[in-house]
Amino acid sequence: MKKVLVITYSWPPAGGIGVLRCLKFVKYLRDFGWEPIVLTAENPSYQFIDHDNLKEIPDGIEIHKVPIFEPINAFKKITGRKKETPLQNITNNSDKKRSIIDKFGMWVRGNFFIPDARSAWIKPCVKYIDRYLENNQVDAILTDGPPHTNTVIGMRIAQKHSIPWLADFQDPWTQVDYYKELYIGKRADKIHRALEQEVFQTAGKITIASPSWKKDLESIGGKNVDVIYYGYDETDFSEFSAKQEDSFIIFHGGLLGQDRNPETFFSVLHELLNLHPEIGSKIKLKFAGEVDLTVKNSLKKHHLLEYTELMGMIPRKQVIKEYEKASLLLLPINKADNAAGRIPGKLFEMLRTGKNILVLGPDDGDVKSIVEMEKRGRSFEYDDKDLLMSYLTDVLLNSSESINIKGTIDKYSNKLITGKIAKYLDEMIYDTKDA
């Protein structure tokens, strides 16, 4: 069996949707003739923990762990934050709401830790892999980024050992929405972009999570770029049933930051409750995951707190159980310059449920295209109050939309998607042999 070295920072017991992409690749690569060898961090600082993800690791695979220095832990100490406190809200907050020390921390991260806060891990990993390759052979390399520290590690190994390399981008690098929030100076920006271009020249294949981002990468020199969606795993839905509660539950699972605050949606819902008080007895908002203070304040402003359950962090298995109970799934997209290409990983699990999805995002977004093509819901601009009012009136009062569980979305299954990754790996090593 061919061997692929998989370089990833995010690995079980890490929680959140970000860990699943690479984990599912590893889970199914053997089905396509590739034996994964995983390199990950020994002492990582994960924002969320989900021990259920450990069960997804295939039996008997090699896993190598290299110690990592995490400057983020020092930053938390300086700012008085608990070690387990997530830091996504720093970049999600407006500039006015950031403390001076938060701004300083972001400036240090953007200008001195390149490509990201895990950059100190690059040299130890390259050294470790160099030693490993003295007595072991791998046929290809697969990296999972961000963090793009993984990307740089893969690039250095590919360059030193002439091993075919596939660079998978969950998110872009210099084009990601929060890049401009890091107060990056001209010198650091030049280094970021030079490294990115070096990746484009070195990687045998680049994959990225959305069609719009594929175009964005190609516009700045990306070569051999193809789209690999996040997908869903059918095994996660083995006990799923599309039941609904008597109440009308609107559910969102995941980070709900300041840049995803559905203010207009809350306003419309408040108006509907005033116009039709009878729906107040059955409607319920349920939010699982981290909810930014701005979102909580919007709920309070529109008198929706009494209808809202803030569940906090819950395991993915419970998220899927919440999908079962829900009548409508809420999916706000980041309000950002490159939001058209932002496809949250949870979208494909939502699609699998067959439940209707209410998307709030750009009219030219990839999420809108997918949801409406699959006939799994509707997409609206964040501030399109009139259309939101019409839609919610129809759904809440007339129950005009029903579950579409019989539709097929097999093309988004993690197993089939991993088959595409395996195909790209095969093509790279055959091209290398031919050369």
* Identical fold, 2-231+413-434 and 234-410: yes
Q: Where are the domains of the chain?
A: 2-231+413-434, 234-410
Spell out the residues 6+ positions from residue 49 whose beta carbon is closer than 8 angstroms to its own. 13, 14, 15
Superfamily of domain 234-410 in CATH is Glycogen Phosphorylase B; (3.40.50.2000)
Integer Cα distance of 159 and 266 in angstroms: 52
13 prior amide bond cis, ω within 30:
yes
Alpha-carbon gap, residue 157 to 179, rounded angstroms: 26
**Model pLDDT, residue 174:** 94
Helix (H) or strand (E) holding 10: none
Matching residue, tokens 């995010």 = 10
User: How is residue 144 written in tokens?
Assistant: 């999972």
Q: Where are the alpha helices (DSSP H) in 303-413?
A: 316-325, 346-353, 366-373, 385-398
Based on its alpha-carbon atoms, the radius of gyration of the chain, rounded to whole angstroms, reads 22
Q: HSE of 253 in the Cβ direction (CA atoms, 13 Å)?
A: 27
Bridge-based pairing of strands 225-227 and 205-208 is parallel
Model pTM above 0.85: yes
Length in residues, the chain: 435
- What is d(CA 62, CA 5) in angstroms, rounded to the nearest whole number? 10
Query: Residue type at 421?
Result: I
Q: In order along the chain (435 residues), what is the average pLDDT of each group of 10 residues? A: 97 92 97 98 89 95 94 54 48 52 73 90 97 97 96 98 96 89 89 97 97 96 96 92 80 92 96 93 94 95 96 92 93 90 95 93 95 92 94 82 60 96 95 61
Give the tokens for residue 325.
């109970």
Peptide bond into 146 cis (omega under 30): yes
Check: CB of residue 151 under 8 Å from CB of residue 114.
Answer: no
Whether the CB-CB separation of 46 and 1 falls below 8 Å is answered with no
With beta carbons less than 8 A apart as the criterion, state whether 139 and 429 touch: yes
**Burial call 221-243: b when 16+ CB within 10 Å, e when fewer:** ebebbebbbbbbbeebeeebeee
The answer to whether 277 touches 360, Cβ cutoff 8 Å, is no
pLDDT of residue 82: 55
Paired tokens of 82: 């608990």
E runs forming strands in 174-307: 205-208, 225-227, 248-253, 283-288
Q: Which CATH number fits domain 2-231+413-434: 3.30.70.1280, 3.40.50.2000, 3.20.20.10, 3.30.70.20?
A: 3.40.50.2000
According to DSSP, the β-strands at 34-41 and 205-208 are unpaired
Sheet holding 205-208, edge to edge: 62-66, 34-41, 2-7, 140-145, 165-169, 205-208, 225-227
Paired tokens of 356: 């209707």
Write down the pLDDT at residue 132.
98
Q: How many Å apart are CA 244 and CA 241, to the nearest integer?
A: 9
What is each CA distance from 207 to 139, 227, 414, 431, in whole angstroms? Answer: 18, 5, 15, 18
DSSP secondary structure string for all residues of 382-418: TT-HHHHHHHHHHHHHH------TTS--GGGBHHHHH
The residue among 403, 365, 360 whose CA lies nearest residue 378 is 360
Three-state SS for 245?
A: coil
- pLDDT in the model for residue 403: 52
